[in-house]
Structure 1
């Protein structure tokens, strides 16, 4: 029996997680705090503006502006995170979360809320935004050997998805309780309480970030500090000439500094990820939540519970994807597991009952997250380690830029009572992405980890 448990633990990477360093575990806790906050607030963001009396198209415009602000902040911070310090970037991001939550809890002015969302951190989709994701994933790749990354990324993504799902259900039930006969708060006041909790979770994330050690920093940053020696991984992966050249780089950069071999790969991936992200932006969690609420008139606690169930199922399938990736490789796993969920998006607006819609969402959730960990592992190995943070940041910025117009389009179509079109467009785009990622990279050897 113990042999079976040991084999199972090794298969899903649980033994690697248990033996991980404090920094790896802290990065996972940071992710959990952030995704709890995003999951709690995102399912009510459209309703929050509806209560204020703003039309759907204006809400869509707000979300697009939010993404523009995210692009600006993320672009600068991720391009320069390895120079100014990864820990500092994570701390700054946490403080921006705190500030955004406070403003949303206290203000009712559209333009003040817009400024808080543009210059702060608010997720309109429930997905991870801001510079955090790229910095954390690059740091994990820095801390974890290449052979173990699929498993660690899977647990990192699992924690993220579970936290977002927990945020969905807790947000739904908190709003329900605050509006019930016990407290009898107004709908707007209940949403504002959620943003107070959002700020508290941002503060918790800030505390976790403070406890990170110098080992999370890049070799470039460490070599510039006379009192800190480069990490053990540095001496193994980077040659002395690489370290010297890094120290002579300018302090701030507006573009990722890539080798000629990496440029083609990054351009290809940027175009493909942009297509997928634009499709996702048409059916963000906030808009799916709004569509279901408008169509079936369900209560907040039912809505939160529904998204918790789909998120919970999706989270644990990530461990299965890690096992599949060990056998098929990251590219095949990305494409083959993502395709069913992409195709099912098209069918979400078709049922006339909430039950059938919910069943489609559950089936879709079985594979919707299975491409996440393989994609992270793939992206970490196709460029040099010295380029990793900048490339991951660049890819995230490209993905966010491609999402800018999606919420505006969704809001416009919702105002015309034709939001169902978004699901058709999104599914078509994402299926096309799956086919192209397979055709472009399935037969190529692009591992440049030690280049």
Structure 2
């Protein structure tokens, strides 16, 4: 286990330079994700789209990201990881340009499908499994959870600052009289520019990030049952989360409370700060109580808070519930990633990362369309209630199925095909 006084360090000991480049690139991308997730519904509303049309575009972004991630997983053993990351950055740059120029529904839908736009509070793009695999190779197992906590921390803090940056178009309108639509389009251009910045940060990655052996490998071996079981449960969690992705949560706040973009940005900023703190706290808690217990017993109360949000009598109460939820809900992110990487063999990690990420993205993609339809029928927060119930169901099933399957660093036995749960 990691020494008890290391969880608070900005960077865990023994982290390579490659890991630092990955963390820096994650920060640049998450900053971009932070403002586009909030500006996307604003932009589409400005163009005259309905809540259902907005939901369909968000669904398109998530389905496209999932299929792209699946394709990347299929060819991952035949192409250098660094080259794939650089190609993903070029696609990110093209996505920003496409959104900045498109105004009609079908062009926007197509760009959303083939691009890298991320309407969620987390990362659902093809960058994720590639970075997870690389990071797992750059640190010893007992410090893995701490490194993934910093990876999530960097992403969340950068995303929080990005959410604040979503108010820049309003400032441009007030200060220089720029048309609101043009100001938002410039922000999508900035998103594309940050794709180029990410490319420059990935370029120095060394040969150490590549697969240890060349040639084609079987995606999964003896850990297949474990990975598929986790995948199924993660899909339930992701399907529930898709009902209130960042863009849809912002849309619901706009509709229900009539808040401004600056107010929405402030709410999302502070919820992100709460999440960022929770990433660091997840490390000592998981060392004391185990990865699965940390995932479940922090995630379940957060989902109860989420279910209560639509019943809040005023904005202040809703914000309070969202803050409490954010302080608890994200402790499962670094622990979940660390758990998946720990219970499979090193050779299986790229496949495990993709197999657990791609179906999550597909499951997340289905629910925004339903949520968008519900928001056209009523402004009551049914998407939040449905999402919270589904995610709570995931927590309970995860505890029942995997509580007794512990990774080696927690004292568990080596995983095998017979070990599929508790």
TM-score of the superposed pair, with normalisation by structure 2? 0.93
Partners of 1:13 and 1:375 in 2: CA distance? 21
Instruction: Please give the alpha-carbon distance, in whole angstroms, between the structure 2 residues aligned to 1:362 and 1:421.
Output: 19
Shift of 1:147: 0.7
1:301 and 2:296 equivalent?
no
State the partner residue of 1:122.
117
Q: Secondary structure at the match of 1:404?
A: helix
State the number of aligned residues: 411
Flag the structure with larger Rg.
1
Task: Report the Cα distance in structure 1 between the residues aligned to 2:62 and 2:303, rounded to whole angstroms.
Answer: 23
RMSD: 1.9
Aligned position for 1:406: 367
Task: Tell me, in whole angstroms, the C-alpha distance in 2 between the residues paired with 1:8 and 1:437.
Answer: 27
Q: Could you tell me the TM-score, scaled by structure 1's length?
A: 0.87
Rounded Cα–Cα distance in structure 2 between residues aligned with 1:399 and 1:145: 27
Pairing of 1:198-237 with structure 2 (within 5 A): 198-221=191-214
Determine the structure 2 residue equivalent to 1:49. 44
| Pair 1:161 & 2:145 matched | no
Pair 1:434-2:404 in alignment: no
Distance in 2 (CA, whole Å) between partners of 1:412 and 1:153 is 36
> Equivalent residue for 2:137?
142
Counterpart of 2:170 in structure 1 is 176
Aligned residue runs from structure 1 range 386-401, under 5 A: 386-401=347-362
Return 5+ residue gaps in structure 1 as ranges.
Answer: 1-6, 222-246, 251-255
The alignment partner of 1:347 has SS state of helix
1:355 to 297, 302, 316: 316
Q: Equivalent residue for 2:301?
A: 340
CA contact (8 A) 2:407 2:414 kept: no
Does structure 2 conserve the Cα–Cα contact (< 8 Å) formed by 1:66 and 1:122?
yes
Unaligned 5+ segments in structure 2 are 417-422
Correspondent of 1:90 among 78, 85, 104: 85
1:277-296 equivalences in 2 (<5 Å): 277-296=238-257
Q: Deviations over 1:331-379 (max 9, x none)?
A: 1111111111111110111123211111111111111211111111100
Which of 242, 245, 258 does residue 220 from structure 2 map onto? 258
Hey, what's the Cα distance between the residues in 1 that align with 2:414 and 2:191?
38
Change (3 A) 1:450 1:421: closer
- Aligned match of 1:233: none
On the 8 A contact 1:48/1:188 being kept in 2, the answer is yes
Aligned structure 1 segments of 4 or more residues deviating by more than 4 angstroms:
446-451
CA contact (8 A) 2:94 2:115 kept: yes
- Superposed CA offset, 1:235-294 (max 9, x none): xxxxxxxxxxxx3x27xxxxx6211x3121112101100000000000111111011111
- Note closer, same or farther for the CA distance 1:75–1:166 as it changes in structure 2 (3 Å cut): same
